[in-house]
Structure 1
Amino acid sequence: MKRTHWQRKDVSEHYLEQVRGGIPYGPDQTKMMLNVINHFQTSPRTVIDVGCGNGFLAEILLQMYPRASAILIDHSEPMIDAAKEHMRQYKDRCEFLLADFSHGLKQVSTIDSVDCIVSGFAIHHLPDEQKQRVYQQIYDLLADGGVFINIEHVASATPQVEALHDQLFIHHLSTYNNRHYEDVEQEYHERPDKEDNILQRVDIQVDWLRDIGFQHADCFFKWMELSVFGGVK
């Protein structure tokens, strides 16, 4: 992965403080993640969080599955630092890796060994060829019956739908942060990390998963450009 704005402390802090909690239907996305994982893996022991941010998804999984341990990987040092702070109470069950997952995941764990791999708003920063490579490596790391769930920012079908997504997303952020819509709108469209987004439609990505060999690959939740999708090895 090329150097991104997410490696800047100010960008990471802004996201964690003003955006992450204001993402529309965030609780519904994580609830769906848990529903799918629990349907196929009632007691996962090994978890990897790819592009972990502050460890939000890993935290949910360690709360839900007290026998599980997690590896959290991110290419952003400010995000890894935030994850270490956020996950202090789970430090005995966590390993933190500052690494560029676009270069590969084989160093993270052994093949056919992981029960559950999740990712939240991270893989969309990769070009399509690298996305597919990461999905293949995720498949390789999973044990039989292992589950992959990606909570992700995906492309709209048309520019008009994208414009609607932006409008609704900005409204959510302005309400969450109790700020004027116009101020949030300007900040949203001028945000430095926008150029890091390389979005692809969710239906295309689900087809990639099926081609790799994932079973039950599907989009399990979608609101505009926010999607929960994945599959089972």
Structure 2
Amino acid sequence: MWKSDDAVRSFAASAQQRERERHEQVLLLARLLPFDQQDAFTFLDLGAGTGAASRVLLAEYPRASAILAEYSPQMTAEGHRQMAPFAGRYRYVEMDMLASDWPAEVPPQLDAVVSALSIHHLPDARKQAIFGEIFGRLRPGAWYVNYDPIRAPDAVVEAVWERVNDRYDPEAPYERAHRTPQEQARYENHVRYMIPLAPQLEWLRQAGFIQVEVFWKRLDWVIYGGCRPGLTVSPSPSGRGPG
């Protein structure tokens, strides 16, 4: 759906509100990377869309450079417009996350990989495979961190999450029952391949990651990550980056 001009225009129109709502989580994702603010490093943003996560990282680390992997030309075009303040510090590469062949423009070794709201769009087998591919692209000691929604492990937990979310957003039940066709299509695309947290952490470990951790969680939203063995570092705002 992200190769539809109408879908991207609709997405972009509400982007500022979404980015404000998620800013603290994306900033936490940025600060989990083991770099000082003045470190120079290159990170890959998988499924980057219009660059919302990359903009937060580039603002937090003024000497960092970003590679934004995105498959939709429409999202990339909108991304170039929004990324203008960071001209010279980023580049887009066309990448289909459903394919195992990574574009040649992605370096064989990266200082960090991040993803935000993209992994949950992949079928389970592809989620597991891409974790291994990410692992293979990281320098020893480098980190992968992901911010994503998850599915509840069972119906009881799902009901708890929905009840609590509805308390915070009393209009949510009405909105669920009165989605427009376009909103319903976006919702179905959003949840189609969403799964619980536990198997994702296990797939990271199977891929070879160590120090796999959940760094933040609120009901159906989570930030988790892991490190490629090698140089021992911990993800903290003041930690040193991979050499």
Fold conserved between structures, TM > 0.5: yes
Counterpart CA distance in 1 for 2:119 and 2:101 is 13
1:232 aligns with 2:232: no
Match of 1:102, SS state, is coil
In 2 relative to 1, CA 12–185 (structure 1 residues): closer, same or farther, beyond 3 Å? farther
Shift of 1:106: 3.1
Contact 1:202–1:219 (CA<8 Å) still a contact in 2?
no
Residues of 1 paired with 2:165 and 2:4: CA distance?
23
TM-score with structure 1 setting the length? 0.82
Secondary structure of 2:152's aligned partner: coil
Give the drift of 1:32.
2.2
- What amino acid does structure 1 have at the position aligned with 2:148? E
Structure 2, unaligned runs of 5 or more: 229-243
Aligned mate of 1:80, from 72, 76, 80: 76
The residue aligned with 1:194 is 187
Which residue type is aligned with residue 142 of structure 2?
A: G
Q: Secondary structure at the match of 1:192?
A: helix
- 1:32 lines up with 2:25 in the alignment: no
Mapping for residues 130-209 of structure 1, pairs under 5 Å:
130-166=126-162, 182-183=174-175, 185-187=177-179, 191-196=184-189, 197-209=192-204
Structure 1 residues 161 and 123: alpha-carbon distance in aligned structure 2, compared to 1, 3 A threshold: same
Greater Cα radius of gyration, structure 1 or 2: 2
Report the TM-score when normalising by structure 2: 0.79
Identity %: 24
User: Cα–Cα, structure 1 residues 12 and 61, in superposed 2: closer, same or farther, change >3 Å?
Assistant: same
Q: Distance in 2 between matches of 1:188 and 1:122?
A: 23
Q: Hey, what does 1:104 align to over in structure 2? A: 100
Structure 2 residue identity aligned to 1:50: L
1:215 pairs with 2:210 = yes
Q: Quick one: which amino acid aligns to residue 149 of structure 1?
A: V
CA 1:22 to 1:72, structure 2 compared with 1: closer, same or farther past 3 Å?
closer
> Number of residue pairs matched?
222
SS of alignment partner, residue 193 of structure 2 = coil
- Is 1:115 the counterpart of 2:111? The answer is yes
1:167/1:96 CA distance change after superposition, 3 Å: farther
Give the structure with the larger helix fraction: 1
Partners of 2:169 and 2:11 lie apart in 1 by 11
User: How far is 1:25 from its partner?
Assistant: 5.9
Using the alignment, how far apart are the partners of 2:137 and 2:82 within structure 1?
A: 26
Segments of 5+ residues of structure 1 without an aligned counterpart are: none
Judge conservation of contact 2:41–2:65 (CA < 8 Å) in 1: yes
Distance 1:158 1:77, change over 3 A: same
Structure 1 SS opposite 2:88: helix
Q: What is the aligned partner in structure 2 of residue 47 from structure 1?
A: 43
Aligned Cα root-mean-square deviation (Å) = 2.8
Query: Is the partner of 2:143 in helix, strand or coil?
Result: strand
**Deviation of the 1:167 alpha carbon:** 5.8
Structure 1 residue 171: Cα displacement: 7.2
* Distance verdict in 2 for CA 1:60–1:22, change over 3 Å: closer
